[in-house]
Amino acid sequence: MTKTEYLLFDLDGTLVDSVPDLATSLNLLRAGLGLTPLIQENVVPMIGDGVSTLVKRALGEKLYQPKHVEQFMQIYSEHLLDNTLCYPGIKELLEQHPADKMAIVTNKPYQLTIDLLKGLNLTRHFKIVIGGDSFTEKKPHPLPVIKALEGLGALPHQAVMIGDHHTDLYSGRDAGTTTCFCAYGMGNNDGLTSDFYAEQPTDLLKLFPETSVE
């Protein structure tokens, strides 16, 4: 297999555990609509396909209105960093690779992504940050990964798309990169086979060791 030089990361469920803050924000939105709270375990499978889908799943098709997305984003922006933390080993992983070899490709809205990265002091690690609203398409479409590769100056075979959800695997595969499934995250692989497999976040340190800087 060709040596992997560039690392493209999903965010939620891959680099950070944001379930508590997402659940809190969804439940505050639900409370304002007179709904009972969701337990965190039920929130997990709702995550990964973008904010509109997340809110729609949390409220149900009949109650959902587009205005609820803006309401949720306002609430979530106020609770973005209450309990969200990097998974074990992630900061060490990022320190071992130069920023010009790494990108974020997430379905989280761009501004919330930037705010979260800044709050956790992670911004400096990434040359490229792509959110779910950065382009006309989001994962599982390959366009965000293609744009990330262009921004990094990387060829598809030089890169790996790392994520916890099948949207990451589809997006990377169709853009021509190798893929790594993070089984510890929030999503599922939809039965897809990945080139790499991380049972625990610390496995990424072994799969993608330090890049030598010439």
pLDDT single digits (tens) 126-167: 999 999 999 999 999 999 999 999 999 999 999 999 999 999
The model's pTM: 0.94
Can you spell out the DSSP letters for 166-210? HHHHHHHHHHT-EEEEETTSSS--TT---SEEESSTTHHHHHS-P
Mark whether 69 and 30 lie in a shared domain: yes
Mark whether 156 and 93 lie in a shared domain: yes
Mark whether 12 and 44 lie in a shared domain: no
Mark whether 166 and 65 lie in a shared domain: no
Mark whether 180 and 108 lie in a shared domain: yes
Q: What is the DSSP letter of 121?
A: T
Mark whether 134 and 38 lie in a shared domain: no
Minimum mean pLDDT among 1-10, 31-40, 143-152, 165-174: which range? 1-10
Rg (CA), the chain: 17
State the Cα–Cα distance between residues 22 and 151, nearest whole angstrom.
29
Catalytic one of 10, 12, 17, 21:
10
The pLDDT score that the predictor gives to residue 210 is: 80
Mark whether 194 and 109 lie in a shared domain: yes
Kindly tell me if the per-residue pLDDT of 89 is higher than 90: yes
Q: In total, how many domains does the chain have? A: 2
Which residue, of 79, 110, 128, is where some domain finishes? 79
| Exposure class string for 86-108: b at 16+ Cβ within 10 A, else e | bbebbbebbeebeeebbbbbbbb
Residue 200: other Cβ atoms inside 10 A: 14
Averaged confidence pLDDT in the chain: 95
Full domain range(s) for residue 179 = 6-17+86-207
Residue 214 covered by a domain: no
Answer yes or no: 10 catalytic: yes
Are the beta carbons of 24 and 77 closer than 8 angstroms?
A: no
Residues paired with 31 in a beta bridge: none
